[in-house]
Amino acid sequence: NAGVMQNPRHLVRRRGQEARLRCSPMKGHSHVYWYRQLPEEGLKFMVYLQKENIIDESGMPKERFSAEFPKEGPSILRIQQVVRGDSAAYFCASSAGRGATSSISTDTQYFGPGTRLTVL
Amino acid sequence: EDKVVQSPLSLVVHEGDTVTLNCSYEVTNFRSLLWYKQEKKAPTFLFMLTSSGIEKKSGRLSSILDKKELFSILNITATQTGDSAVYLCAVVQGSSNTGKLIFGQGTTLQVKP
């Protein structure tokens, strides 16, 4: 399966714990995006990364949230000291980015199945 | 403030009906508009629109963009129960170095047998 992979699919944490969400982009994709979907709300952009670089983090909360996309391995969204308001579905998407040979525009983002985070 | 607005927010129809979903936007540095279908999992890609007036079609689904009036529509003909889902409209914003999506609230479509 060459689709976007996310794990875990469900994550339960108690207040104050750390949550680590992982995303492996689609094969051949080098651009990763994280979005958050709060209950009864739409998807909101959080951060856009390329390998080893954060390109746009304008949607990230200023504290407790961080993201990385190392040279090797998946992208990680890390939430420290979780609070109940962090409970949401976190989706990762990937795109081909610049230099792609695909006929589909590099703007097309393909989504993973999401991680549903529940903070008790 | 950049925004994407979808209407209606919810819609209930019967199998065989035709539906039109609307998406209007006010976004700086518009690049393209995408439609997704979301069931109880990941949004799945339907269409990407970049040019005005060119209809994209896939089976019973079609979509068109009007960049002058800043809106797009998604049409579904001969609806089936499997079309029940949340339909998301998103605008790609930014220079060639960024590509974040700004989503609308979604339209929840329920197709009854």
| Per-residue model confidence as pLDDT tens digits over A42-93 | 899 999 999 889 999 999 998 999 999 998 899 999 999 999 999 999 999 9
Query: Taking a C-beta distance cutoff of 8 angstroms, is the pair A80, A11 a contact?
Result: no
- State the average pLDDT over residues B10-24: 97
Confidence of residue B98 (pLDDT cuts 50, 70, 90): low
Please tell me which of the candidates A31, A42, A107 has its beta carbon nearest to residue B32. Answer: A107
- Residue A28 clears pLDDT 90, i.e. is over it: no
Spatial separation of the C-alpha atoms in residues B34 and A110, rounded to whole Å? 11
The values of phi and psi at residue B14, to 5°, are -110, 155
Measure in Å the smallest separation between the Cα of B100 and chain A Cα atoms. Answer: 7
Spatial separation of the C-alpha atoms in residues B107 and B105, rounded to whole Å? 7
Contacts of B45 in chain A (CB under 8 A): 108-111
Return the structure tokens found at A92: 């990762």
Measure in Å the smallest separation between the Cα of A116 and chain B Cα atoms. Answer: 10
Q: How many CA atoms lie within 13 A of A78 on its CB side?
A: 11
**For A108, which DSSP code?**
-
Question: Do A113 and B34 count as a contact with CB atoms less than 8 A apart?
Answer: no
Q: Which residues contact B50 (CB under 8 A, 6 or more apart)?
A: A105, A107, B31, B32, B33, B65
Of the candidates B20, B36, B108, B111, the one whose C-alpha atom is nearest the C-alpha of residue B71 is B20
Spatial separation of the C-alpha atoms in residues B71 and A81, rounded to whole Å? 41
Measure in Å the smallest separation between the Cα of B42 and chain A Cα atoms. Answer: 4
Mutate which of A57, A91, A108 to test chain B, going by most B C-beta atoms within 10 A?
A: A108
Return the structure tokens found at A116: 């549903």
